Amino acid sequence: MQILSIAILVNPFAGKGKSNRLAVWLEKQLISKNIPSTIFRKQWPSTFDDFSDIWIIGGDGTINYFINHYPECKLPIALFKGGTGDDFAWKLYGDISNDEQLELILNASPRFVDAGKFNSKLFINCLGVGFDGEILQSMNTIRFIGGHFGYLLAVIKKIFSFHEPRFVITAAEEVWNEKILLLMINNSSRAGGGFFVAPNASINDGKLDMVFCKKLSVLQRLRYVPVIEKGKHLHLPFVVHRLGEKFTIECDAETAVQVDGELYFAKDLHIEILPNQFLFRY
C-alpha cells in the first residue's frame, strides 16, 4: 500500500511544544521527498477521504483520542513521539531517531494492531486501576517534569499513602476477590514512560495481558518498584499474570482508571480485546 498523501494530526499541547516542532520538521522532510501532506492542529477532519495515510504526533493520550474519535479508521497510521511518556510509540518503533523512524515508516508495509475496549472506550496501550489510577490523579507533577522521571516521582510519593482497594476480578473461569495494589490490563508492554509492567505483551496476538500485584507493605513497595520498572516481577509470588480476551473488574466504589494516560472513573469495568482493529506502519 503506497503512501500518496498524508494527513498529519498534531496535538499542539502534547510534550510542551515538542509536537509542534516535530510537525514543522516532518513537513520539511516530506516536501524534500515530494510527498504531499496536510497538517491539522486545532481541528482534525471528520473524514480522511483525500489521504492514503495518517501520521499522528503526540503521546499516548493523543493516540487514545484518535482511536476513540475514528474507531473505524482503516487507513495506515504512524505515530511520532510528541508526548511525555510515548509508551505505545516506543512499542512500535523503539529508541530510534526521528530520521530513522521516518525512513522506516516510508518503507514499511501496514500491519494490523490490536486494541482493547473498556466499557464504551477504546484503548491501545494499557489500562490501570487502583494505584495506577491514583498516580494519574497526581498528574500535575508528571506533566510539569515530564516523562518517566515525573511518573517515578509520583509513584514514590503515592507509595507511602496509598491504601489497597478490594476488587473482584474475573478472567475466564478464575475469580479473585482481594485487596490489590496494582492492576493493569495491557495491550502493549510499557507504561509510565518506562515501566515494563507486561514485558512480554504483544500488540498483535489477539490477547490482553492482565497483571496485578497483591497487597504489600510500604517497605515491600519500595523494594519492588525498581523490579517492576525493569519487568522482572512476573515470577514473584504476590504477582498474578494472565493472558485473555475478556476481563471484568468490580470495585466497591467509583475508582480512578488510567486509560492510555487519560483519567476516567468507573465502578464496574468490562474489558475485551479487539483483534486487528487498526493498521500501523512500523
Q: In the chain, where are the structural domains located? A: 6-109, 121-276
Instruction: Report the pLDDT value the prediction gives residue 79, as an integer from 0 to 100.
Output: 99
Q: Quick check: 141 pLDDT over 60?
A: no
Q: Read off the pLDDT band of 137 (50, 70, 90).
A: confident
Share above pLDDT 90 across residues of the chain, in percent, rounded to a whole number: 83
Supply the mean pLDDT for the chain.
94
* Closest by CA position to 154, among listed 140, 169, 168, 174: 140
* pLDDT (mean) for 247-265: 95
pLDDT band (50, 70, 90) for residue 149? confident
Q: Is 121-276 in the same CATH topology as 6-109? A: no
In the CATH hierarchy, which fold is given to the domain comprising 6-109? Rossmann fold (3.40.50)
Q: Which residues contact 84 (CB under 8 A, 6 or more apart)?
A: 14, 15, 16, 59, 142, 143, 146, 147, 150, 193
The answer to whether 102 and 78 have CB atoms below 8 angstroms apart is no
Predicted TM-score (pTM) of this structure: 0.93
Confidence of residue 77 (pLDDT cuts 50, 70, 90): very high
**Per-residue pLDDT for 144 more than 80?**
no
- Residue pair 71/125 in contact by the 8 Å Cβ criterion: no
- The architecture in CATH of the region 121-276 reads Sandwich (2.60)
**Residue 17: per-residue pLDDT:** 80
232 pLDDT exceeds 90? yes
CA distance 189 to 90: 10
Per-residue pLDDT tens digits for 26-44 = 999 999 999 999 999 989 9
- Decide if pLDDT at 54 tops 90: yes
Answer for the pair 26, 8: CB distance below 8 angstroms, yes or no: yes
